[in-house]
Amino acid sequence: MYKYFEIDSVTQNRDAPIYVHDHQNLLARMHPSLLHSLPQAQEFESAPPAPVGSCLLVAQFAEIDQVIENIKNIKNTSPRCQIMLLSQYEGYKQLGVVIRSGARHCLCLQDPTEVLVAQVDQARQGKITMCQSALRALVDGLQSQAIEMQERLAELTLREKQTLEFIALGFTNKDIADQLGIAEGTVKVHVKNLLRKLGFKTRLAAASWLYAYEHGLM
């Protein structure tokens, strides 16, 4: 479904070798002249032969989990690699997760080849490149996530919200009971209910979620 190109230099040298992994031949079919503009391209099967400086990861469909897995694999081989994601961004509601995983540039698969050639050059020079469709997907995803989080919080009762806030501060059930003036057993009920409503299995997961929400990290 996807393929990726790896460039084995962090310099701005356009003549640096490019390692290519391409099972679907997407660029050969959709942007053949882009390949021709990279005459130094070299193919590899499963992993680049050496650490690389830049990578072009091409995805035909919005396969978030697979894209993230491949980004992690590339980062394991080349921690300092700058990853350029070339894709169609409709449905990329979790593009923020993809970017946090290591994608540094987002190029649009539907853009004209000459535009992609210029953007690849810019990205290889260290200039952050983000196409409009990726920006739209990123903003839409962040807004949808914020709305979803607000809706989930709205399901909590006042006591459950207070309990969650104390959990995020590291309070034990006994501490929370003392703060709220209620029995420790009642706190345990609140904890059980809020975890169920928020969809978490542990207090730590709920606390981390609230922290990320309040600090704009999600």
Per-residue pLDDT of the chain (218 residues; tens, 9 = 90+): 444 444 433 444 555 666 666 667 777 788 888 777 766 666 666 555 566 667 777 776 556 787 788 888 888 887 877 888 888 888 777 888 889 888 899 999 889 989 988 888 888 788 899 999 999 988 888 888 788 888 989 999 999 999 999 999 999 999 999 999 999 999 999 999 999 999 899 999 999 988 887 766 65
Rg for the chain, CA atoms, rounded: 23
Task: Give pLDDT, residue 87.
Answer: 86
Asked if residue 110 and residue 177 are part of one domain, the reply reads no
Asked if residue 127 and residue 194 are part of one domain, the reply reads no
d(CA 153, CA 28) in angstroms, rounded, equals 48
Asked if residue 119 and residue 19 are part of one domain, the reply reads yes
Asked if residue 38 and residue 128 are part of one domain, the reply reads yes
CB–CB of 78/57 below 8 Å?
no
Asked if residue 41 and residue 93 are part of one domain, the reply reads yes
d(CA 138, CA 121) in angstroms, rounded, equals 23
Asked if residue 89 and residue 36 are part of one domain, the reply reads yes
CATH of the domain at 15: 3.40.50.2300
Asked if residue 100 and residue 74 are part of one domain, the reply reads yes
Phi and psi, residue 156, nearest 5° = -80, 145
Asked if residue 105 and residue 176 are part of one domain, the reply reads no
Tell whether 150 is covered by a domain.
Answer: no
Q: The domain containing residue 60 runs over which residues?
A: 2-142
Q: What is the pTM of this model?
A: 0.68
Asked if residue 87 and residue 6 are part of one domain, the reply reads yes
Domain count of the chain?
2
Asked if residue 159 and residue 68 are part of one domain, the reply reads no
Q: Final residue of a domain: which of 110, 142, 174?
A: 142
Q: Final residue of a domain: which of 99, 114, 142?
A: 142
